[in-house]
Amino acid sequence: MRNLRITDYELRNMDQLFLYLTIFFLFSAAWFAWRYYDLRKRIDRYINEIRIQDKHLPTDIKGIENLSNAIASLKTAFDLRFSTLDSDNARLSTVLEQLTDGVIIADANGLIQFANPAAQKLFEIPNALGHSVTEVVRNHQLVDAWRLCQQTSEMQSESVELPGRRQFLQLIAIPDAHASGSLLLVQDLTRVRKLENVRRDFISNVSHELRTPLASLKALTETLQDGALADPDAGPRFLGRISTEVDALTQMAQELLDLSRIESGQVELILAPLAPKGLITSAADRMKMQAERAGLKLSVKCEDDLPNVRADKSRLEQVLVNLIHNAVKFTKPGGEIALEAESVIGGVRFAVRDTGVGIPAESLSRIFERFYRVDVSRTGSGTGLGLSISKHIVEAHGGKIWAESEEGRGSVFYFEIPVKT
């Protein structure tokens, strides 16, 4: 076995190696120190040259470091600000894209720099950028309003009905004082105008419907005051007519209230599985006596195995009663009224069929409008609200209602209700 003891020769070799390593590290340290000194001198020279041109700059390395830190902080602040601006711009773009009102920005020459989707849809132009306001708007009244805004630097507004489209638009032109351009806001007022027309017609119709019974009541009351009340024959007859007119006013008030609640969504439907045959049988039982007094035959035709519908029983029965009541009014004695129900794809179709006077073809599309009556001279009593109420009730159930008729031969009113899901 070899002796592990270190010889004197090996010790001398190790001392030489250590000396060489020490000299190497000292030389390396001196070289790096010289490089640092040289770099420092060059930096100082550059700083002196810059300082000659701008005496406000710092004169030492520490000052340069402070300046660098300040610039870095400023850059961070700018980056944060730009990020916030980008976020704000993104939100603003989302709002403009989702607006139902049109927004157009035009420069001083009338060239469009921005148009949101609503504006391009209203004016039926897929890409309005770069086009002139005149080319996009294509309506002299709106264009004149924009030009007047450009000339006077004052806000202008104009409303027009677009020919052929039955569409009402309002344009508001706002001057841009900074860019000498303008901001155009375009609103579609078609629905607002329709609602205004409905409101005006509603007030007119209600006034008319109230005027007739009130005038009758006034005349009857004056007749009774003039001595008819003491007449054993005339007194009771006039009092009976007063009672009839009061009942008509009460019915109209109730129907107006029902219609208002249904249209405003204040009526909550109590939906439950409902057997079609039970529904039409219940409605027929309620109207049987009225039909018999009018000399009419009322029948029910319905299979027992029809699927249940998901419906509010009292409301659908109200629809059937309204339809039967109309059939009784417009069917001559000896005629027939039939209530029917049959299964169709996705639901059940109900029908009220009569052999009455029928409805003119030009009136079929309007019979479900409020207060609309086909021929006032032959309607007798009634408010013209029953069919409108029925339409709203059926549509609230997710169904549809319509009528088919032939003058002189009768009418059929249909409505469909979805089956229980």
Question: Do 81 and 31 belong to one domain?
Answer: yes
Question: Do 286 and 406 belong to one domain?
Answer: yes
Question: Do 283 and 383 belong to one domain?
Answer: yes
pLDDT at 349: 96
147: in domain:
yes
CA distance 345 to 360: 30
Question: Do 107 and 73 belong to one domain?
Answer: no
pLDDT at 57: 52
**Series of mean pLDDT values for 10-residue runs along the chain (421 residues):** 43 45 48 53 59 54 63 69 72 78 90 90 87 90 91 90 83 82 90 81 75 83 82 82 82 78 77 93 92 93 91 92 91 94 94 93 86 58 76 92 92 91 53
Containing domain of residue 410, as a range? Answer: 272-418
CA distance 142 to 158: 6
> Structure tokens of 167?
């569409």
Question: Do 206 and 299 belong to one domain?
Answer: no
> What CATH number does the domain containing 236 carry?
1.10.287.130
Question: Do 296 and 335 belong to one domain?
Answer: yes
Question: Do 373 and 392 belong to one domain?
Answer: yes
pLDDT at 378: 47
Strand partners for 344: 347
Question: Do 363 and 407 belong to one domain?
Answer: yes
The pTM assigned to this predicted structure is 0.54
CA distance 197 to 345: 38
CA distance 283 to 276: 11
Question: Do 279 and 400 belong to one domain?
Answer: yes
Contact 359, 374 (CB under 8 A): yes
Q: 263, 281, 296: which is the final residue of a domain?
A: 263
Question: Do 308 and 389 belong to one domain?
Answer: yes
**Angle, CA of 383, 388 and 317, to the nearest 5°:** 95
Please provide residue 345's backbone torsions phi and psi, each rounded to the nearest 5 degrees.
-60, 120
CA neighbor of 146 nearest in space, from 175, 115, 179, 125: 175
> Structure tokens of 309?
């519908």
Please provide residue 305's backbone torsions phi and psi, each rounded to the nearest 5 degrees.
-100, 20
pLDDT at 71: 65
What are the C-alpha distances in Å from 123 to residues 110, 168, 191, 240, 312?
A: 16, 12, 17, 61, 44
The DSSP secondary-structure symbol of 269 reads P
Strand partners for 309: 274, 419
Question: Do 258 and 303 belong to one domain?
Answer: no
Output the DSSP codes for 84-140: HHHHHHHHHHHHHHH-SSEEEEE-TTSBEEEE-HHHHHHTT-S--TTSBHHHHH--H
257: in domain:
yes
> What CATH number does the domain containing 131 carry?
3.30.450.20
pLDDT at 34: 53
44: in domain:
yes
Terminal alpha carbon distance of the chain: 99
Please provide residue 375's backbone torsions phi and psi, each rounded to the nearest 5 degrees.
-145, 105
pLDDT at 18: 46
What are the C-alpha distances in Å from 305 to residues 214, 271, 276, 278, 316?
A: 50, 20, 9, 11, 19
Our count of domains for the chain comes to 4
pLDDT at 242: 87
pLDDT at 129: 87
162: in domain:
yes
Question: Do 279 and 407 belong to one domain?
Answer: yes
